[in-house]
Amino acid sequence: MEIFLEEKKSKNLKTEAVVFGIFEDSDFSKKENFPNFKKEAERAKFKGNLGESFFYSEKLFEPKKQVLFVGLGKKKDYGSQQARNSAALAVRKLQERNILSAEFWLHPEEAKDKKIEIISAITEGLILTNTKYQRFITDKEKISKGIEEFFICVKKEDKDFEKGLKIGEILSEAVLFARDLITSPSNEITPQYLAEEALSLSKAYGFKAKIMDEKECEKMGMGAFLAVAKGSQNKPRFIHLSYKAKGAKKTIGFVGKGLTFDSGGISLKPAEGMGAMKSDMSGAAAVLGAMKALGELKPKVNIEMVIAACENMPSGSAMRPGAIIKSMSGKTIEVQNTDAEGRLTLADALTYIQKQNVDEVIDLATLTGACMIALGTDIAGIMGNDNDFVDYLLKISQKSGDALWQLPLESNYIRFIKSPIADVCNISRVRWGGAITAGLFLKFFVENKIKWAHIDIAGPAYRDDDLNENHRAEGAGFGVRLLAKYALENS
């Protein structure tokens, strides 16, 4: 797959198709080179809305090309999300006709103060939609080649467009890196495998790396993390990467939940759908993907990244319901459900990262089904102890394509996770508000002086349908662009 920028004055491109973006509020009766456009648009019930598209009835231009129109919505609302999703829609439509090369006129010039952002988004939409996970398909006839050549067309050359293309390519590769980790089978992606991937990134980009085994974690008092890991033959690994930028004035902490497989432990999950629990390390994949992107982009901000990687398995040595464990913070936890394990690993990870002189912490975790019930499969829930910090991340999410919605950390709900025999219980004693009580559990391990945001990505982390640039039965790489763009904004 290759992707190029082309300006309007260049010679006619030898492509099989051309895609034109149409704004909802444009004049359909004045479309040069398309005398029947209005009539054909009406027949296709095309109004230029987002998500709409149709192929023109005949091939046009020289050489003859198939012509696809996609809706961009209202011109005043045109931004990265609209550009990314329209590019993704176009790729899907072209793939249905096995087209191998195409040019795209999606009007990045219309967003004058967002040209870098728009070109980056278009690039992401093209690359990510065109790339599917096919590593284990042995029948070559079933393997989709996808589109081989993309040309993003602009009216005139601009250095911002070139910069946007480069950023889009870097972010796309980082998201694909995360998607591969999530989608690959759990017999391959073990805690040790994640540790090796982290070491590879450290060698490629000069990050400082520290990988701790269970003995080292035990010395540090990580009783909550190790309690979860006890039931598996695959040993845990605590992963720490550091990115130091010369002259940086701020240090951000990234924490990713790293359950490479979650059976539920003794509180065993139902068999249906358990295979998807290979994706319970989507938070870890996201922070690793973000580090890959930042290794390329080199923002002027320090990053500390940690992952408590392990498996949650049932065995004679596994953590049991009713157990009381001591966390790295010294606080004790009553375990009433071993399937509420991610928050235990995160408790120690949060304690550890706060000792790294960070100013802010963002954790990403496939934490609760309750968040999916509240927000569905496309939106992640965000909670935190500083509203300005949360608002900033919400603003970034509108650019990155990682949809967030704020949930309240209602302090009254702490009563639901109180334990009569320990400092806190790992599960709520009531059925409702599970995403919030999980967030409150994590907050119990965060010092007040640290700005902290928790993002529950249980819904959008692993796709059960095709959506925008995501593919069914694959990891989405949700959060990679959010974290990378947030770091860039703080550069």
Average pLDDT (253-264) is 98
Rounded to two decimals, what is the model's pTM?
0.97
CATH 3.40.50.1100 at 2-157, yes or no: no
Contacts of 385 (CB under 8 A, 6+ apart): 409, 443, 446, 448, 450, 451, 452
Contacts of 345 (CB under 8 A, 6+ apart): 224, 225, 228, 257, 258, 259, 308, 310
Single out the catalytic residue among 230, 237, 343, 481: 343
Dmax (CA) of the chain: 78
To the nearest 10 degrees (0 to 180), the angle between helices 159-183 and 480-489 is 140
pLDDT tens digits, 348-400: 999 999 999 999 999 999 999 999 999 999 999 999 999 999 999 999 999 99
Single out the catalytic residue among 38, 74, 166, 269: 269
**Same fold: 2-157 with 185-489:** no
Domain boundaries, the chain: 2-157, 185-489
Q: What is the pLDDT of residue 11?
A: 58
What mean pLDDT value characterizes the chain?
A: 96
Q: What is the pLDDT of residue 7?
A: 83
| 269 noted as active-site residue | yes
Q: What is the pLDDT of residue 31?
A: 77
| 326 noted as active-site residue | no
pLDDT tens digits, 87-146: 999 999 999 999 999 999 999 988 878 999 999 999 999 999 999 999 999 998 888 889
* Angle value at C-alpha 185, between 184 and 190, nearest 5 degrees: 95
Whether 27 shows a pLDDT value over 90: the answer reads no
Contacts of 113 (CB under 8 A, 6+ apart): none
pLDDT tens digits, 319-355: 999 999 999 999 999 999 999 999 999 999 999 999 9
Average pLDDT (44-73) is 94
More confident residue, 117 or 32: 117
pLDDT tens digits, 154-174: 988 889 999 999 999 999 999
Whether 439 shows a pLDDT value over 60: the answer reads yes
Structure tokens at 402: 């990682």
Whether 265 shows a pLDDT value over 80: the answer reads yes
Whether 10 shows a pLDDT value over 60: the answer reads no
Per CATH, the number for 185-489 is 3.40.630.10
